[in-house]
Amino acid sequence: MSDAPKLQEGAGWNAGVGARVAPSDRRGGTLRLVSSADVDSLDPARTYYVWVWLLQRLLNRTLMAYPTDPGPAGLVPVPDLAEGPGVASDGNRTWTYRLREGVLFDDGTPVTSADVRYAVQRIFAQDVLPGGPTYLVPLLDDPDRPYAGPYRDGVDGLPSVLTPDPRTIVFRLRSPFSDFDHLMAQPCVSPVPRHADTGARYGEDPRCTGPYRVAGHRPGGRLLLERNPHWDRATDPVRPALPDRVDVTIGLDPDDMDERLTAGEFDINLEGRGLQHAAQHRLAGDPVLRSRTDNPRTSFLHFVSLQPHIPPFDNIHVRRAVHHAADKVLLQEARGGPVTGGDLTTALFPPGLPSHQALDRYPTGPGLRGDLDAARAELRAAGLPDGFDAVIGTQRGKFRLVADAVVESVARVGIRLTVKELDVATYFSQGAGSPETIRKHGLGMIVTDWGADFPTEYGFLAPLVDGRLIRPGGGNWNIAELDDPEVNGLIDTVLHTADPATRTDLWREVERRVMDHAVILPLVHDKTLHYRGPRATNVFVHPAFGLYDIQAMGVTETA
Ligand code: ARG
């Protein structure tokens, strides 16, 4: 007999992964959320945080959207503002959408195709509106006459996006792109009415098409959402819009946040950081708390990038030696272990994607502690039987722990690494993301992670390995600067290919080919430990985002 009252039991460990906890269509009340950090932006064109993208689902609608579905169907965009999925023609080069009738902004003005086109045009104004994804720019821009956005080049530019009538929008891409519906589900294409655009300040007073609008935002303190009186449930197949208000408390210290969350003051940690050590500890001895937790994969891959342009990593035998020498168990521990660190992996694609395959190109022995004989053989083949000196780049905190575990792993075969810590805030823009910084510090190895901006094989792998996506100026994700004509060519072939099964096979080939280069040492598919409060209904981890789908939730009681 448990002495915990039955009522308080949650739905069970991991009940919100792949299924819904506390299904309900009860409306009303206030959903109480908490976050340590503020939103990056409330301008839909300028946000990149996953949790803000989930928050945007409350505020804004897009032509396509990921459905409210905890299963694999959640990975496939469905029509939202559009009446149907994009109609592709000209071998995936032309995409046409027709808008639903009767959708209004929260100021009561109708949403037209021109408002969607205007949102797309704003993405080109990266000088004024930086921060969001820019996948559409190379697909739609004319390199001979680059478009600089509506502020500098007006709204008549960008002939690749056409609005033949107020409900039709046509995109003419420069090259085929089979995942286009996914790009039409990103917040950055939420319609923006030109009459309300204030450029860089739009996020302070954005117009909304979703079931909620911003009732107040005190930066660093609190964000309040209220119902959008002009949202019409009948036009929205995606959003249940249950609570009357959403109240986000911002700026708490992570341990304080966990404390007050598990005490019932908040329903969900919006930011999805996961429970910290202190709370994890309390959980271990408390079956009720444990029954209210989920331990999903986040779809982030943690890996170490090996840099072929920094000797001796130009020698493939050196790169292979590092792969074989890796103590995978030690590295997983450095990440936080199997629950809050993640699942060990020897392949790249997250398990949710169709192309995920078992692939272990550089075995590390039966206990996964490293195959030191294989590593030494590779070092001999490289002409470096006694090892060598090199530098590994990282940042302080969790990435530092990973770097230390790499140092320890490869020291066993004579590779002597020193650790260089780069600035945390600019790590992905100007540190690991800058080819120049890497050369300046001679970083032969770099600790990093990556999560896809849309849940497809292209979305996951192309930014990491497509040579055409290297960004020399910073913000580069293809850190190893892999530029293999065969990999690039295979990616182009997939983008032309309509048949899903063929695409799956082609992506598996891309992954094998990438692993042959030995420039990515995969560590874990990341996992987090989330807590769901007992008042929250319809709680599930959204498969496309790896975090709770806030817009799906309601509350049991009016508060
Ligand atoms: N791709 C970026 C990264 O790996 C952002 C990923 C999460 N954000 C997102 N909106 N998908 O850091």
Q: Helix or strand or coil: residue 471?
A: coil
Instruction: State the Cα torsion 530-548-180-86 to the nearest 10°.
Output: 160
Give, using CA atoms, the residue closest to atom 6 of ligand 1.
451
CA of 71 to the centre of ligand 1 (A): 21
**Ligand 1: does its nearest atom lie under 6 Å from the Cβ of 54?**
no
Q: Which residue has the tokens 């033949």?
A: 164
Nearest-angstrom CA–CA distance, 497 and 91: 8
Distance 171 CA to ligand 1 centre (A): 25
Which residues make Cβ contacts (< 8 Å) with residue 278, sequence separation at least 6?
255, 258, 259
| CA 100/CA 236 separation, integer angstroms | 9
CA distance 59 to 367: 49
- Ligand 1, atom nearest to 463 Cα: 1
Distance between start and end Cα atoms, the chain: 33
Distance 34 CA to ligand 1 centre (A): 21
Output helix, strand, coil percentages for the chain, rounded to the nearest 5. Answer: 30, 20, 50
Identity of the amino acid at 398: K
How far, in Å, CA of 89 to CA of 125, rounded?
28
* Peptide bond between residue 312 and the one before it cis (omega within 30 degrees of 0): yes
Atom of ligand 1 lying closest to residue 451 CA: 4
If 0-12 CB within 10 Å is exposed, 13-18 middle and 19+ buried, where does residue 443 land?
buried
Closest ligand 1 atom, residue 52 Cα: 10
Choosing from 40, 47, 50, 54 the residue with most ligand 1 atoms within 8 A of its CB, the one to mutate for a pocket test is: 50
Q: Which residue's CA is minimally distant from atom 2 of ligand 1?
A: 451
Token digits for 100?
């639903």
Give the model's pLDDT for residue 558. 55
| Ligand 1 centroid from CA 176, angstroms | 23
Backbone φ and ψ of 405, nearest 5° = -70, -30
Mutate to test the pocket of ligand 1, among 57, 299, 426, 450 (most ligand atoms within 8 A of CB): 450
State if residue 453 touches ligand 1 by the CB under 6 angstroms criterion: yes
Task: Quote the DSSP letter at residue 104.
Answer: B
H, E, C per residue of 142-195: CCCCCCCCHHHHCCCCCCCEEEEECCEEEEECCCCCCCHHHHCCCHHHCCCCHH
Ligand 1 mean position to 48 CA, how many Å? 6
pLDDT tens digits for range 237-275: 999 999 999 999 999 999 999 999 999 999 999 999 899
CA 271 to chain centre: 13
Alpha helices (runs of H) in 392-496, residue ranges in sequence order: 398-411, 435-440, 457-465, 485-496
What stretches in the chain show pLDDT beneath 50?
1-7, 559
- Looking from the CA of residue 186, the nearest atom of ligand 1 is 10
Tokens in use for 131?
């921060």
pLDDT score of 454: 98
Q: Cα(358)–Cα(349) distance, rounded to whole angstroms?
A: 10
In the numeric block, the tokens 């002409």 are attached to 383
- What is the C-alpha separation between 518 and 444, in angstroms, rounded? 13
Comparing CA positions, the residue from 532, 535, 534 lying closest to residue 17 is 532
Q: How far is the CA of 400 from the centre of ligand 1 (A)?
A: 21
Within 13 Å and on the Cβ side, how many CA atoms surround 118? 17
Q: What is the pLDDT of residues 400-410, one digit of tens each?
A: 999 999 999 99
- How many helices and strands in the chain, by DSSP H and E? 17, 21
Specify the 3-state DSSP secondary structure of 97.
Answer: strand
Question: Residue 483 has which token pair?
Answer: 């530029």
Q: How far is the CA of 152 from the centre of ligand 1 (A)?
A: 29
Find how far residue 490's CA is from the centre of its chain: 24
For residue 457 and ligand 1, the question of a CB distance below 6 A is answered with: no
DSSP result, 296-326? -EEEEEEEEEE-TTSTTTTSHHHHHHHHHH-
Contact 402, 304 (CB under 8 A): yes
Distance CA 266, CA 247 (A): 9
For residue 40, report the distance from its CA to the centre of ligand 1, in Å.
Answer: 13
Distance from residue 56's CA to the centre of ligand 1 (Å): 15
DSSP 6: G
User: Is the CB of residue 50 below 6 angstroms from any atom belonging to ligand 1?
Assistant: yes
The protein residue with its alpha carbon nearest to ligand 1, atom 12, reads 450
Question: Tell me, what's the pLDDT at 3?
Answer: 45
**In degrees to the nearest 10, what's the CA dihedral of 127, 130, 133, 139?**
-10
The residue to mutate among 50, 56, 453, having the most atoms of ligand 1 within 8 angstroms of its beta carbon, is 453
**pLDDT confidence of residue 8:** 66
Alpha-carbon gap, residue 432 to 420, rounded angstroms: 11
What is the ipTM, given to two decimal places?
A: 0.96
Q: What is d(CA 482, CA 346) in angstroms, rounded to the nearest whole number?
A: 19
DSSP bridge pairs for 393: 420, 446
